Structure 1
Amino acid sequence: MFSMWRHLNASRTFTCTAADFFSLQPRQTLFLCSDARVLRINPNRDFSGKRFNVPPSAEFVARVSGIPTMAKLPYQEAADGLDAAFVGVPIDTGTSNRPGARFGPRHIRMESALLRAYNSGTRAAPFESLMVADIGDVNVNVYDLKDTCKRIREAYRKILATGCIPLTMGGDHTIAYPILQAVAEKHGPVGLVHVDAHADTSDVVLGEKIGHGTPFRRCVEEGLLDCRRVVQIGLRGSGYSPDSYEWSRAQGFRVVQAEECWFKSLAPLMAEVRAQIGSGPVYLSFDIDALDPGFAPGTGTPEIAGLTPIQGVEIIRGCRGLNLVGCDLVEVSPPYDTTGNTALTGANLLFEMLCVLPKMKYY
């Protein structure tokens, strides 16, 4: 260990076991963790020799220090060599009500400093299982939504070509459409677990066919979804017709309205969802407005009487065992929640998504 420390300046990257890492003095540990390029820790208890990126412990590195990345993970420019990557898509150009979701990825990253290496509830060890990093944001065009969709689609083609699973921070829900275009190019039509207050299956809004209320209509039209393996959970609110979800049901979607979720655990529901979706590829899309605005007020189109954070976690944990090929957490609008709690909730839900990806190790 001390030999590693003496020769630190000879190379920019070192691999050590967790035991070695925690044997360092706090000052040495702080130096190593302050520059994510310097150190990759192998935290495996069996010391298998694999190398993983690991969030630095707040026991040694102040959460308020450093440049914000998701969970304080290393930043790298591309997805090469990664099993999963956090990526931001900072747009709100498709928003129909309150803007601000373009700042969602930035604030989710800031609040994610509270995340730690293990999931105490499920005993998942994501950073012993997968190589994960933050690959920054898609370079969107905030003046042109159609061009932004093209940029997103091209960026995700490159991510998916590496075999990496993208974990996306939105941004408004428009982004699901170009992401699923890229996902379906690689995997074919996919199943979908869609958690939202709204079905997002409108055809045309104010003369436009692309916006945050239309992505899943476009996905069905283009054959991106295996409609027999689609479930929408948490839908609620007033509508433009007596049955706002008639179109979804006509496609073969399972629609679970919020009223069906009140006052109950959603673990039994997710057992049914797993049976419906089976072993094929599936995408998880989680709009933060699925949660009641009392818990997550920082969003563009809030609807009362929604899901609780506990139910949101139950849904994501209920995806364990599915062949997840991508996930997103969208519609966090920080200007409408000065406490930061909506972004904090989003960061934790993204961590839960990471913890149910395929090949996850559990203790």
Structure 2
Amino acid sequence: MIIGISDESHSHSLRKGTSEAPDRIRKISRTRDVYVENNKESLAYTNSGKAQSKIFDLGNISRENIPLVYERITYDGKVPITIGGDHSLTASIIQGLGNKRGPISLVYFDAHPDFLSSTRNFYGSVVYDCLPYIDPKSSVMIGIRSPELEEIENIQKYGITVFSPADIQYYGFKQVIEDILSKIGKNIYVSFDMDCIDPAFAPGVSVPVPMGLNPITASILLKSITQDGILGMDMMEVCPKFDIQDNTSHLASRMICELLSSVKVKPKLPNF
């Protein structure tokens, strides 16, 4: 289930415009990834050789409606795929899911740890704001390459495992995948900030950082981590105003399609 949240009210970035991302990603996906044959529409095939046709788009919701919407989705056994918006939205989503599923293994794709604790409730404190609902020991950060000292201290304090782009290049993604899968638990939530991708491939983000992941590596990691099922995923921080020929929006759409072609759905929760 696709959900858009057109909100960037908790962003401090000098680049504005992530609130435009949900509608832009949908538009570019429909323009570039939908084919019409015999008057029937279908999505493009993915790298797995599978097409993804059973997708329901709920449309856009407000930040305030996150708890109600995600509680209902969780009980219905659906996998919410959220398009933001600034990254602070993830904390509200995690809170809603964590209250129903128990401690979550957070897989956090980002150039930044977003682990500040001196300032709260904004796009730079996401992971710290999520701490009551996640299991830090079974959570991982991927693509990190621009941490602040306070964030490094919090990573060490809470024991979250970090894989930088240099780690993945040096050890190889097969070894990194094995390490990640041995670390994470069963209740997996994936948060994907598009700035984890190198700006050569994804220039349209709010805080670009050089020397990031390439799209193929990120896609393989994403699919390997999610193949046995996830609670949900979000795609954050696409900034269309700073994109080049909508390449970042298109890449975000393709990353979502790659995931949907292989992910399993968690079982529906019983009613009490």
Instruction: Specify the TM-score bucket, using the shorter chain as the normaliser.
Output: 0.7 to 0.9
Larger radius of gyration: 1
Letter in 2 for 1:354: L
Give the Cα separation in 1 of the matches to 2:90 and 2:140: 15
- Match of 2:25? 108
Residue 123 of structure 1: CA displacement?
2.9
Quote the Cα distance in structure 1 between the aligned partners of 2:178 and 2:208: 28
Is the aligned partner of 1:133 residue 2:56? yes
Among 134, 140, 145, the residue aligned to 1:225: 134
Q: Which residue pairs with 1:27 in the alignment? A: none
1:196: Cα distance to partner? Answer: 0.3
| 1:187 paired to 2:101 | yes
Specify the SS of the correspondent of 1:213: coil
Instruction: Give 2:48's match in structure 1, choosing from 122, 126, 131.
Output: 122
- Larger RCO, structure (CA 8 Å, separation 6 or more): 2
Cross-structure match for 1:211 = 122
User: Of Structure 1 and Structure 2, which has the larger fraction of its residues in helix?
Assistant: 2
Residue 245 of structure 1: how far off its partner (Å): 2.2
Q: Distance in 1 between matches of 2:189 and 2:160?
A: 14
TM-score (norm 2): 0.87
- Deviation digits for residues 263-300 of structure 1, max 9, x if unmatched? 7752331122112224x110011100001111111111
Cα distance change of structure 1 residues 343 and 335 upon mapping to structure 2, 3 Å threshold: same
Instruction: Report sequence identity in percent.
Output: 27
Equivalent position SS for 2:93: helix
Aligned residue pairs: how many? 256
Residue type at the aligned position of 1:259: A
Root-mean-square deviation over aligned CA pairs: 2.0
| Residue number in structure 2 paired with 1:332 | 238
Q: Could you say which residue in structure 2 is the equivalent of 1:88? A: 4
**1: distance between equivalents of 2:55 and 2:78?**
9
Contact 1:153 1:182 in 2 (8 A): yes
Question: Quick check: 2:181–2:225 contact (8 Å CA) kept in 1?
Answer: yes
Q: Residues 180-201 of structure 1, C-alpha deviation per residue, up to 9 Å, x if partnerless?
A: 0111122111111111001111
- CA distance, structure 2, for counterparts of residue 161 and residue 210 of structure 1: 27
**TM-score when normalising by structure 1:** 0.66
- For residues 159-198 of structure 1, give each alpha carbon's deviation from its aligned partner in whole angstroms, at most 9, with x where no partner exists: 2222211011111101100000111122111111111001
Structure 2 gaps, min length 5: 34-41, 267-272
Select the residue among 232, 238, 260 that pairs with 2:167.
260
Q: Name the CA distance, whole Å, in 2 between partners of 1:162 and 1:189.
A: 20
**Any idea what SS the aligned residue of 1:197 has?**
coil
Partner of 1:68: none
Q: Is this contact kept in 2: 1:265–1:311, CA < 8 A?
A: no
Amino acid at match of 2:168: C
Render the CA deviation track for 1:110-155: whole Å, top value 9, x for unaligned: 111233546442233543xxx42111011x2xxxxxxx3x422222
1:303-361, Cα deviation, whole Å (9 max, x unpaired): 1111111111111121243330100110000000141001001001111221232169x
Q: Tell me how far apart the structure 1 counterparts of residues 106 and 44 of structure 2 sit (CA, whole Å).
A: 27
CA drift of 1:95 comes to 1.4
